[in-house]
Amino acid sequence: MQGNAKQCRQHLRHLLHSIDEAFRPLDNLDTPHRKHVPSLKKMKAGDANYDTRKVILGWIVDTVKGIITLPEHRCERLLEIFECLHHRRRVTLGKWHETLGELRSMSLGIPGSKGLFSLLQTGITCSKANRMRLTPAMKAHLQDFEHLAQDLRRRPASIAELAPDEPVALGPVDASGEGMGGAWLPATTHNTLEPVVWRHKFPLDVTADEGTVTNSNLELAGTVAHQDVLVQHRNCNHRTIHILNDNVSAVAWRKKGSATATGPAACLLGVSALHQCHHRFLASTDHTPGVTNATADDLSRLWHLTDSQLLAHLNSLCPQKQPWRVVHLRRFVHRIHNRSCTSTIQRQRLSLARLACLLPHP
């Protein structure tokens, strides 16, 4: 609420009157368990006071600094979970459900942790006799989660990294059996972002195994490369970017932050989450029909055209106020994507702590 003390007080009274209209007052027929709404106990504790720093649902929200943090006792509890599971090989199914519930609740304010639940969730389906085995891959994901949790104590999470805002840029991306490509456009008319396009051909060892690396995996890899292209040319710190893709599975994986399979999708989601955490931006994803994704389709398929021929094609197909410009993926992105798509086939562990060393400082 903005305004002077009188305006804030009037606004608070309007809110309380609205609650009284929705919930009837207490009477003699009510059970002892029914409490007054709104809660007088919570109001006396300060829940109805205007403040810029408040504990909401277990989180400390500071709207002046624009950050959200865990209280110290919850940070200690988070590290206690990892310490408890560090030397264990098996846990009961009930204990694992409890652990996942706590990690899920705390992940809301830990940027990057959203993409680490794929393998942790699939362990539930592999339980036997009410006990579950902690595989090396699951322990690796727990180590990655612990890495992000310790980073949270050094750097509080920004609200802009957790809650989407008006996007600073939007762009379609697509992938085919040969390669991937995408385009970035300014999201508003007064935006000075130069329209850029990029494309990258997949290595043969990525597309050779059709049984493991599916088209949806390749589409997901394209979205991860797509967001890195933008951070090279635009300051996305504490900004929201919007990715458009015509693959239903890839869009659903990115929105949930996890996949039910343990293949390359789970690995790529972890890479995407770390990338956003490292560059401190938020990437939202939406589905676009294939007929409206012609620009990205051409970028992932027209490999017989040179870069200059491709630009001429785009300028005739969809001209912009500023001319299109071709950019290329950074070398370390090639390494990340090649290892992400082939890590399941070659049984290599892709550590987030190790990937953080590959990412340049923003």
Q: What's the rounded Cα separation, in Å, for the pair 86 and 14?
A: 52
More confident residue, 325 or 208: 325
Residue 259 φ/ψ, nearest 5 degrees: -130, 150
What is the separation of C-alpha 13 from the centre of its chain, rounded to a whole number of angstroms? 38
What are the Cα distances from residue 11, in Å, to 8, 83, 242?
A: 5, 47, 35
pLDDT score at 268: 84
Q: What's the rounded Cα separation, in Å, for the pair 70 and 129?
A: 36
At residue 352 the predicted structure's pLDDT band, cuts being 50, 70 and 90, is low
pLDDT score at 334: 58
pLDDT score at 335: 58
* Dihedral of the alpha carbons of 145, 146, 150, 155, in degrees to the nearest 10: 0
pLDDT tens digits, one per residue of 2-38: 889 899 999 989 998 999 899 988 888 889 888 888 8
Give the chain's length.
Answer: 362
> Tokens for 179?
């390669």
pTM for the model: 0.79
pLDDT score at 132: 83
pLDDT score at 346: 35
Residue type for position 223: T
Query: Which residue is associated with the tokens 């919570």?
Result: 42
Q: What's the rounded Cα separation, in Å, for the pair 305 and 313?
A: 9
pLDDT tens digits, one per residue of 96-136: 888 888 888 888 888 878 888 887 887 777 667 788 888 88
What are the Cα distances from residue 176, in Å, to 172, 181, 193, 207, 259?
A: 14, 9, 27, 10, 21
pLDDT score at 61: 92
Task: Sketch out the chain's domains with CATH numbers.
Answer: 1-50 (no CATH), 72-155 (3.30.70), 165-358 (3.30.420.10)
pLDDT tens digits, one per residue of 294-324: 889 999 999 999 999 999 988 888 888 888 8
Q: What's the rounded Cα separation, in Å, for the pair 259 and 121?
A: 9
Q: Which residues pair with 105 in a beta bridge?
A: none
What is the separation of C-alpha 339 from the centre of its chain, rounded to a whole number of angstroms? 20
Mean pLDDT of the chain: 83
What are the Cα distances from residue 98, in Å, to 59, 101, 105, 352?
A: 19, 5, 11, 24
What is the separation of C-alpha 321 from the centre of its chain, rounded to a whole number of angstroms? 32
Query: Which residue is associated with the tokens 């106990």?
Result: 41
pLDDT tens digits, one per residue of 266-289: 888 888 888 888 888 999 999 998
Element (H, E) at 107: helix 93-107
What is the separation of C-alpha 218 from the centre of its chain, rounded to a whole number of angstroms? 18
Which candidate, 175, 174, 218, 210, places its Cα nearest to that of 338?
Answer: 218
DSSP 218-268: HHHHHHHHHHHHHHHHS--TT-EEEEEES-HHHHHHHHHS--SS-SHHHHH
